[in-house]
Structure 1
């Protein structure tokens, strides 16, 4: 049976520029015929990964690394070895797995690897140090790879199994040269959009030269930056069965991933222009729904944008709109056993709609328990 855990958040940000386009302006989109503020899914996924690390929500061994500097990471682990010789052996070992290095020692594209995979590569090189040849020019490197024992080649390729890295399991990866080790994401994240219409605003700023002479009046520098303020609807969905498969059937790790993801998603705030705006505004509402039929994004609750009112905040109106639309949609597409958990600071989520919790830690704990009950059923 399908099993999805959905996350619906309403989050109001003070004036900010969290996610910029190529011109430096806050990203936006047309939705329902109106201009909306937008923060890309990629931006929030990185913020989630950073939040999980910053708050130590998962052990280091179960996190991933996105980098081109795999060679340098392996050199750090091969302590006590000659750097030049170790570098050559690393290149041969990576080539055996199908990973190529450029002349600058970096991989051809960003790799998304688990800490466990990196550690396993270092261990493989140490274990087979004397068997790994050292190549010189490109031709000799190719010959060195070809001369490797089949056992080492087999082991090198088998190392790329995801390493039980939770963020790799959640967000997936694609290695262009190694399609066999690609991993489909267990988590889908929507671009966050404002529940209301927005306009771009401009901040014209000046900077004064502290060492300016008396005859140097005016600013030492002038400029402008675009920003907006928006109440965002954020949506993500976890395929719990896929998450378990990506983590090699480790149920306890999958449940820990659910708990960590719940916390990290709420704590995740993009870093763009934060030194200028300090928009550290957590969600006003976080709702989780365990669905058994099909995922249901509630973005269309805001196809008609929420309008500002003097007597009610945009966040309050947004939560009300969300609850009303969900009831309408679930009556047609939902399942009887669908279950809600909610953390609501607005007081507008219906009390009869699922189970209310008091804080983020409780929400994460209950999310784990609900997922455990469903996955073990």
Structure 2
């Protein structure tokens, strides 16, 4: 069972998702430059709202490279040694579990997407193996000090450390690593998946797919030339004390995301209540998601205008091709809405409606074409309730 969410959302002057030179991200589509918001940006914006829409904090995850630091602080607070020593112990523990740590930054090689309890589990592992890990940490510290006196010894020590860090963990150790990385009760890991290159056994197949949002029309990046004046400047002084530019655009975006409830159920180990609340939080959070880029200076705090929800047994339709030819009118939102609903209606007539369980549409303006009027609702709560109720049928999961 798949829920699809199609949204049209217009943002005024904004720079919601910047590229490497600080400009709003763009993409060429249909031969025209479009505004773009990356899927990663939208997922993060949605994740930060999950606890506002029915999930508790301990049911959500964190993306971090700082497990070593967090665990070391806890161990030091427990009186097991100075923080520098506990850092070395945790580093040995992570290496034993199969996670490479950069010796300079003391960060894990990549961002790990883990549950809130991961640090506690890592601390427990280090305490359980404290004698062995502490002895190894002390030995390496002594070897490093000795190697500093001999250049060749330093190279040998570095090679030995690298080899130790990349050694293959035993089955018992892998079981402990699985406990630390356990995501069976972590809603956002279940939704957006996880990949760990060094051990595919810890990967999680995403239940949700999220498209890059693109503008329904062509855009041009503009810039705001600003000046600032020193408030304490003497009255007889003139001129600006700061000058600069900020890039921005204004665009109406088409946003698309879906969630496979059967995959979500598998990822969350069949915990019915958690699956139901996760699906509800996913829907509400994506509707309310607004990237935070430059919001303090631009306050582009708009809401989606048009919503289309489709519940289907299989298959998915991204409706971006409705805008392959850029919308070119003074009423961009109305024409974008018409284009989107007409394209969906055309796909249904051409490919058939087999597998589509329900269609629900809503618009702030209340006017929708190419949609059966019995499928149109008048509020977000009505929209979400109808979509989730339809998705409950035949899934074995009662979605509130």
TM-score with structure 2 setting the length: 0.84
* Equivalences for residues 293-332 of structure 1 within 5 A: 293-309=314-330, 313-332=331-350
1:12 counterpart residue number: 10
Q: Kindly tell me: are residues 77 and 286 of structure 1, through their superposed partners in 2, closer, same or farther at Cα, counting changes over 3 Å?
A: farther
Segment drifting more, 132-141 vs 105-114? 132-141
**Counterparts of 1:317 and 1:219, CA distance in 2:** 43
Aligned residues: 371
Q: CA separation in 1, counterparts of 2:306 and 2:221? A: 25
- Is 2:55 aligned against 1:65? no
Q: Say yes or no: does 1:290 pair with 2:294.
A: no
Structure number with bigger Rg: 2
How far the C-alpha of 1:268 sits from its partner, in A, is 0.8
CA drift at 1:253: 1.6
1:257 pairs with 268, 273, 278, which one?
A: 278
Post-superposition CA distance 1:79-106 (Å, at most 9, x none):
5232455434423332232112222321
2:82 aligned with 1:81, yes or no?
A: no
Compute the displacement of 1:127 (Å): 4.8
Distance 1:216 1:291, change over 3 A: same
Query: Which residue of structure 1 aligns with residue 30 of structure 2?
Result: 32
Q: CA RMSD in A?
A: 2.8
In the alignment, which of 228, 234, 239 is matched to residue 207 of structure 1? 228
Contact 1:316 1:346 in 2 (8 A): no
Residues 115, 163 of structure 1: 8 Å contact kept = no
Contact 2:207 2:263 in 1 (8 A): yes
Counting only pairs closer than 5 Å after superposition, residues 229-244 of structure 1 correspond to structure 2 as 229-244=250-265
- Measured in 2, the distance between the counterparts of 1:206 and 1:326 equals 47
Q: Deviations over 1:234-282 (max 9, x none)?
A: 0011122222222222232222111001111011111111111100001
> 1:48-90: per-residue Cα shift (whole Å, max 9, x none)?
112224x264111211111111112224554523245543442
Q: Aligned pair in 2 of structure 1 residues 125, 198: CA closer, same or farther (>3 Å)?
A: same
The alpha carbon displacement at 1:145 in A equals 8.9
Distance 1:91 1:315, change over 3 A: same
Partner of 1:173: 194
Shift of 1:143: 11
Q: In the alignment, is the contact (CA less than 8 A) between 1:92 and 1:144 conserved in 2?
A: no
**Is structure 2 residue 344 aligned with structure 1 residue 347?**
no
Cα distance between partner residues in 2 of 1:49 and 1:43: 10
Is 2:309–2:359's contact at 8 Å kept on the other side of the alignment? yes
Alpha-carbon spacing, 1:100–1:56, altered in 2? closer, same or farther (3 Å): farther
User: CA–CA distance in 1 between the matches of 2:255 and 2:348?
Assistant: 18
CA distance in 2, matches of 1:335, 1:120: 48
Q: Which runs of 5+ in 1 are unaligned?
A: none
Give per-residue Cα distances to partners, 1:5-54, cap 9 Å, x unaligned. Answer: 1110000111111111122111112211122111111111111112224x
**What SS class does the counterpart of residue 375 from structure 1 fall into?**
coil
* SS of equivalent to 2:393: helix
Q: Which of 330, 333, 339 lines up with 2:351 in the alignment?
A: 333
1:280 is paired with a residue whose SS is coil
Deviation, 1:142, is: 8.8
Contact 2:29–2:324 under 8 Å retained in 1: yes
Displacement, 1:336? 3.4
User: Quick one: distance in 1 between partners of 2:209 and 2:166?
Assistant: 40
Q: Offset of 1:337 from its aligned partner? A: 4.5
> TM-score when scaled to structure 1?
0.88
Which deviations, in whole Å up to 9, do the C-alpha atoms of 1:109-164 show, x marking residues without a partner? 211112243343334444555565442217798999999x9685143232123242
